[in-house]
A and B are shown apart, each in its own frame.
Chain A
Amino acid sequence: MVFLNYLISGIGLGSIYAIIALGYTMVYGIAKMLNFAHGDVIMVGAYICYFSMSGLSAHFEEGSLAAAVVPALAGTVLAMVVCTVLGVVIERLAYKPLRQAGSLAVLITAIGVSYFLQNAAQLLWSSSPKMFTPILSRDLQLSLPGGLSVSALTILTVVVCIVIMVGLTLFTGRTKMGKAMRACSEDKAAAQLMGIDVNRTISMTFAIGSALAAVAGVLYLSTYPSLVPTTGSMPGIKAFTAAVFGGIGSIPGALLGGLLLGIIEILAGGYISTQLQTAIVFAVLIVVLLVKPAGLLGKVVREKV
Chain B
Amino acid sequence: MSNKRPETKLVPVPSVNKIPERDVDKSPILEAQHLGIDFGGLTAVNEFNMAIGRTEIAGLIGPNGAGKTTVFNLLTKVYQPTRGTILLDGMDTHNMNTVQVNRAGIARTFQNIRLFDNLSVEDNVKIGMHNAIHSGVLSSVLRLPSYWREEKIAHERALELLSIFDMQDLAGAKAGSLPYGAQRRLEIVRALGTNPSLLLLDEPAAGMNPSETAELMENIVKIRDTFQIAILLIEHDMSLVMGICEGICVLNFGQIIAKGTPTEIQNNPEVIKAYLGGGKEA
Chain A interface, DSSP helix/strand/loop, else mixed: helix
A192 CA to B131 CA, complexed, in Å: 12
B140 touches A190 (CB 8 A): no
B119 touches A179 (CB 8 A): yes
- Report the interface size class on chain B: 20 to 34
A174 touches B118 (CB 8 A): no
B54 within 8 A of A: no
Q: With A182-B119, A189-B78 as known contacts, state yes or no: A195 contacts B128, CB within 8 Å.
A: yes
Q: Mark A156-198, 1 if CB is under 8 A from B, else 0.
A: 0000000000010011001111111011001101111111111
B130 touches A195 (CB 8 A): yes
A176 CA to B190 CA, complexed, in Å: 15
A192 touches B143 (CB 8 A): no
**With a CB–CB cut-off of 8 A, which chain B residues contact A186?**
116-119
CB distance from A243 to the nearest CB of B (A): 19
B76 within 8 A of A: yes
A193 touches B98 (CB 8 A): yes
> Which residue in B98, B119, B141 is a CB contact (below 8 Å) of A171?
B141
CB distance from A62 to the nearest CB of B (A): 38
Q: Mark B78-110, 1 if CB is under 8 A from A, else 0.
A: 100000000000000000001100110001101
A171 touches B137 (CB 8 A): yes
B135 within 8 A of A: yes
A175 touches B127 (CB 8 A): no
A190 CA to B115 CA, complexed, in Å: 8
A195 touches B102 (CB 8 A): yes
Q: Report the nearest B residue to A304, measured CB to CB.
A: B112
Which of B103, B130, B133 counts the most A-chain CB atoms under 10 A from its CB? B130
Which of A170, A180, A192 counts the most B-chain CB atoms under 10 A from its CB? A192
CB distance from B25 to the nearest CB of A (A): 29
CB distance from A10 to the nearest CB of B (A): 30
B55 within 8 A of A: no
B141 touches A179 (CB 8 A): no
B137 touches A167 (CB 8 A): no
A174 touches B141 (CB 8 A): yes
A170 CA to B139 CA, complexed, in Å: 11
A191 CA to B102 CA, complexed, in Å: 10
A190 touches B102 (CB 8 A): no
A183 CA to B130 CA, complexed, in Å: 11
A174 CA to B191 CA, complexed, in Å: 21
> Which residue in A175, A180, A193 is a CB contact (below 8 Å) of B108?
A193
Which of B99, B103, B128, B133 counts the most A-chain CB atoms under 10 A from its CB? B99
A186 CA to B115 CA, complexed, in Å: 8
**With a CB–CB cut-off of 8 A, which chain B residues contact A177?**
137
A237 CA to B218 CA, complexed, in Å: 57
**With a CB–CB cut-off of 8 A, which chain A residues contact B190?**
194
**With a CB–CB cut-off of 8 A, which chain B residues contact A175?**
135, 137, 140-141
A80 CA to B153 CA, complexed, in Å: 36
CB distance from A200 to the nearest CB of B (A): 9
A3 CA to B99 CA, complexed, in Å: 55
A174 touches B128 (CB 8 A): no
Q: Mark B248-262, 1 if CB is under 8 A from A, else 0.
A: 000000000000000
B114 within 8 A of A: yes
A196 touches B141 (CB 8 A): no
> Which residue in A167, A189, A190, A196 is a CB contact (below 8 Å) of B130?
A196
**With a CB–CB cut-off of 8 A, which chain B residues contact A170?**
141
A195 touches B131 (CB 8 A): yes
**With a CB–CB cut-off of 8 A, which chain A residues contact B141?**
167, 170-171, 174-175
Q: Mark B125-152, 1 if CB is under 8 A from A, else 0.
A: 0111011010101001101000100000
B118 touches A182 (CB 8 A): yes
Q: With A194-B194, A195-B103, A196-B127 as known contacts, state yes or no: A183 contacts B119, CB within 8 Å.
A: yes
CB distance from B203 to the nearest CB of A (A): 16
A36 CA to B182 CA, complexed, in Å: 41
CB distance from A297 to the nearest CB of B (A): 13
B137 touches A195 (CB 8 A): no
A91 CA to B179 CA, complexed, in Å: 39
**With a CB–CB cut-off of 8 A, which chain A residues contact B133?**
176
B135 touches A195 (CB 8 A): no
B128 touches A190 (CB 8 A): no
**With a CB–CB cut-off of 8 A, which chain B residues contact A196?**
99, 127, 130
CB distance from A86 to the nearest CB of B (A): 21
Q: Report the nearest A residue to B135, measured CB to CB.
A: A176
A187 touches B127 (CB 8 A): no
**With a CB–CB cut-off of 8 A, which chain A residues contact B117?**
186
B235 within 8 A of A: no
B123 within 8 A of A: yes
Report which A residues bind B (CB closer than 8 A).
167, 170-171, 174-180, 182-183, 186-187, 189-198
Q: Which 10 A-B pairs have the closest CB atoms?
A: A175-B140, A195-B102, A190-B114, A192-B98, A186-B116, A170-B141, A174-B140, A183-B116, A195-B131, A194-B128
26 interchain pairs (CB within 8 A)? A170-B141, A174-B141, A174-B143, A175-B135, A175-B140, A175-B141, A177-B137, A179-B123, A179-B126, A179-B127, A179-B130, A186-B116, A186-B118, A190-B114, A191-B116, A191-B127, A193-B76, A194-B102, A194-B127, A194-B128, A194-B190, A194-B191, A194-B193, A195-B99, A195-B103, A195-B131
Given A170-B141, A179-B123, A186-B119, 6 new contacts (CB under 8 A): A174-B140, A180-B130, A190-B115, A190-B116, A192-B78, A194-B191
